[in-house]
């Protein structure tokens, strides 16, 4: 009986190829995953995640999931496959939290960030330093324009600000992020502007700049 089943199985595979439920996405095959090497698959996925910096994952979260919040579920966030997750801003956050819908195509997410949101300004609407920084950047006619995230209108604003402090070393706003790196705050970009270095820095990052204003901006000490 077993011999007959074996012969039938071989005949089926010869005629129809590998059943679709045994097939793997090409991306997983490329990463070295196969049905009989689950450990290799786990290692490959870990390697893929390791190539994504948490700051980029956070930027993806606030730009692609603006309606989602880290504290939306009674102090936690609902993450597909993980359930309700409580985020500790002082510790590295599982990257899956930053893509709570379960879409972990980080290569696509990073490409979108690069093309649409290379410059992100974390701000507070009432902060004079934030207002000054936003005004200066807007005067440059930048394309794509800076993406502004107003932390004081987000319920998870304190958490996001704490995560930014851990990742960038900057605890205050504004916190201006260019291609995943913090340029600092209002005083920092004012200094770059006065030294005629801000436009070049933006252009080297791939942004289009119409040109800086002619006037020199006075720097002030941030709180």
Residue 49 lies in a domain: no
What's the CATH number where 140 sits? 3.40.30.10
Residue 41 lies in a domain: no
List the beta bridge partners of residue 147: 120
Handedness of CA 132, 133, 135, 139 (dihedral sign): positive
Number of domains observed in the structure of the chain? 1
Contact 149, 159 (CB under 8 A): no
Residue 134 lies in a domain: yes
Predicted pLDDT at 25: 38
Q: Please determine, for residue 82, whether its predicted confidence score (pLDDT) is greater than 70.
A: yes
Give the predicted TM-score (pTM) of the model: 0.76
% of the chain at pLDDT higher than 90: 71
pLDDT tens track for 177-196: 999 999 999 999 999 999 99
Q: Which structural domain, as residue segments, surrounds residue 156?
A: 117-209
Residue 19 lies in a domain: no
CA neighbor of 95 nearest in space, from 110, 75, 111 = 110
Predicted pLDDT at 6: 52
Residue 173 lies in a domain: yes
List the beta bridge partners of residue 78: 84
> For the chain, what's the residue count?
223
Residue 192 lies in a domain: yes
State the average pLDDT for the chain.
84
pLDDT range class, residue 215, cuts 50, 70, 90: low
Cα–Cα distance measured from residue 162 to residue 172, given in angstroms and rounded to the nearest whole number: 9
pLDDT tens track for 110-119: 999 999 999 9
Residue 181 lies in a domain: yes
List the beta bridge partners of residue 77: 85
Residue 149 lies in a domain: yes
Q: What angle do CA 66, 177, 114 make, to 5 degrees?
A: 70
């Amino acid at each position: 009986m077993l011999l007959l089943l074996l012969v039938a199985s071989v005949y089926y595979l010869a005629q129809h190829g590998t059943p679709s439920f045994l097939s793997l996405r090409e991306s997983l095959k490329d990463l070295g995953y196969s049905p009989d090497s689950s450990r290799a698959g786990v290692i490959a996925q870990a390697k893929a995640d390791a190539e994504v910096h948490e700051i980029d994952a956070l930027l993806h979260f606030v730009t692609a999931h603006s309606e989602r919040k880290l504290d939306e579920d009674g102090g936690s966030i609902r993450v597909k496959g993980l359930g309700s997750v409580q985020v500790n801003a002082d510790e590295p956050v599982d990257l899956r939290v930053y893509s709570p819908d379960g879409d972990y195509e980080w290569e696509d997410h990073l490409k979108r960030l690069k093309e649409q949101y290379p410059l992100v300004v974390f701000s507070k609407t009432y902060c004079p330093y934030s207002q000054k920084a936003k005004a200066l950047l807007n005067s440059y006619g930048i394309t794509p324009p800076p993406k502004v995230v107003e932390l004081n209108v987000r319920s998870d604003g304190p958490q996001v600000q704490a995560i930014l402090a851990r990742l960038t070393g900057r605890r205050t706003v504004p916190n201006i992020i260019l291609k995943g790196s913090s340029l600092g705050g209002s005083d920092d970009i004012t200094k770059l502007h006065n030294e005629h270095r801000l436009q070049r820095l933006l252009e080297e990052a791939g942004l289009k700049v119409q040109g800086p204003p002619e006037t020199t901006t006075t720097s002030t000490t941030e709180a």
